[in-house]
Amino acid sequence: MGAGLGLLAGALIGATTGRLDKVIQYGVAGGLAGGVLGGVDGYMTATAQEASRKRVRQIDVITRDVQQDNEKSEKLIESSRRFVESADRRIQEINTEVANKQTSIESARAEKAQIEKSRNLMTDKLAELKKRRDGYQQASDRLQWQEDTSALDAEIDVLNQQIDALEQNVVAMNQALAVSRV
């Protein structure tokens, strides 16, 4: 297309001279220049389209990663919620057993230490999720000016809600541990 337009433009310019050899000469020169410019433009367009497809694929891969983290987080939240309920009951039982001298302080402290260890694992998982979320958010921020990141952003929002739920479980666990008399 560039060569054709260049040929036509060159021929028209050559026609203004009134000489046939100039029409041919300018036509050929215009065709060559137009062909080169058209080829360069075609290459640049193809390169830009490929880069855009790669960015879209990159967004898709990141979105799938966030979805997988969301599925894992959902299971983690449910298991941590059940653990918090169980640990809260057990801490109350430990307090009662110690008060009634049904168990030793050492035994109660050892059991409380196990609960604290599990709470620390929850806290570590929470920190890990936040770090991953921050990485996903940075990727979205980098890509959003080039491509549509709405699906990725929606998954990040779900992850944020799950992080909030896990934080609530950690807070509940801390509160349960705080009322322990051991």
Domain ranges of the chain: 55-178
Q: What is the mean pLDDT of each run of 10 residues along the chain (182 residues)?
A: 61 68 65 57 57 75 93 94 94 92 92 93 94 92 85 96 96 90 80
| Model pLDDT, residue 90 | 93
Our measurement of the distance from residue 157's CA atom to the centroid of its chain's CA atoms, rounded to an integer in Å, reads 10
Give dist(CA 182, CA 4) in Å, integer.
Answer: 89
Question: What is the residue whose two structure tokens read 């990159």?
Answer: 58
| Model pLDDT, residue 135 | 93
Give dist(CA 64, CA 111) in Å, integer.
Answer: 40
Q: Work out the widest C-alpha separation in the chain, in whole angstroms.
A: 118
| Model pLDDT, residue 58 | 83
Contact criterion met (CB below 8 Å) for 98 and 105: yes
| Model pLDDT, residue 43 | 45
| Model pLDDT, residue 180 | 81
Angle (CA) 142-165-96 rounded to 5° is 150
Contacts of 26 (CB under 8 A, 6+ apart): 10, 11, 13, 14
Contact criterion met (CB below 8 Å) for 146 and 53: no
